[in-house]
Amino acid sequence: MKLFYRYIFCIALIVLVASCSSSRKTSDAQTSVPTSQWKSGDAVLSRASIKIKDEKGKGVSLSGNLRMLRDDVIILNATYIFGIQVGFVEITKDKILIVSKVTNQYTEMLYEELSLKMGKIITFDAFQRLFWGEQSNLQINGLKWEYDSFVSLPDNRSLPSELKLNFNAGKKSIDMMMQLSNFRYDASWNPRTQIDLSTYTKLTSEQFYALISSLVK
């Protein structure tokens, strides 16, 4: 797979995890999320190191950063080790924006349409629980999401510092490990990424879903 396809595959898996966590919360009272230690408007910035490996042992290492504004946005930027910008994912309350700077493509996924495709209600809150460490480890239908470690911030609140994602379906598998470091409270960044989308080709939702489907065959 090309670099962008590996990256987009992992984003698709995160969407699957979010859909699973949404359904678990509504169907199982024992998995209800406890009262959060975070309040609306809290802003956190951290460095990210991402390693992706497929079933053939071929892998790629990416770096970047994770920016989160509580109850508003989650932005994950990725850069190849040689300084080539891969792209970013911006998750807001109304949509998910995925931009590839490798292929000059982007797509926008609305939660209503995504929920219909997945057959489960998917919301921004589900992604927020994943990245803020408020979702328990999850294993379902060949998909496994787990937190390997957490870091304590100066005010004794904690965030996940190592997240693992594993997908197995027949002969197809992929592993992703994301290590987060250098956490700090920082609200100086723009909560909406500025990019001239006129210079990019937009993938329709059908084109995007077709791309994802081709990756799991």
What is the model's pLDDT at position 215?
64
CA 38 to CA 16: how far, in whole Å?
25
CA 169 to CA 143: how far, in whole Å?
9
116: left (phi over 0), alpha (psi -120 to 50) or beta: alpha
Phi, psi of 19 (to 5 degrees): -70, -40
Question: pLDDT exceeding 90 applies to what percent of the chain?
Answer: 47
* CA separation, residue 123 to residues 46, 79, 158, 169, 211 (Å): 23, 27, 23, 25, 22
pLDDT greater than 90 at residue 159: yes
What is the model's pLDDT at position 1?
47
Q: Which residues pair with 61 in a beta bridge?
A: 51
Residue 28 pLDDT grade (very low, low, confident, very high; cuts 50, 70, 90): very low
pLDDT greater than 80 at residue 128: yes
- 126-130, 147-151, 167-171: least confident range: 167-171
Q: What is the mean pLDDT of residues 113-120?
A: 85
CA 55 to CA 175: how far, in whole Å?
8
Torsion of CA 51, 185, 95, 107, to 10 degrees: -40
Relative to beta strand 172-185, strand 143-152 is unpaired
Q: pTM for the full model?
A: 0.89
- Which amino acid would we find at residue 24? R
CA 186 to CA 42: how far, in whole Å?
9
For residues 145 and 22, the model is more confident at 145
In the chain the domains, ranked by start, together with CATH numbers, are: 3-21+42-188 (2.50.20.10)
Please check whether residue 48 is in contact with residue 10, taking contact to mean a CB–CB distance below 8 angstroms. no
Q: What 3-state class would DSSP assign to 151? A: strand
Neighbours of 193 (CB within 10 A): 15
CA 114 to CA 132: how far, in whole Å?
22
Q: How many CA atoms lie within 13 A of 66 on its CB side?
A: 26
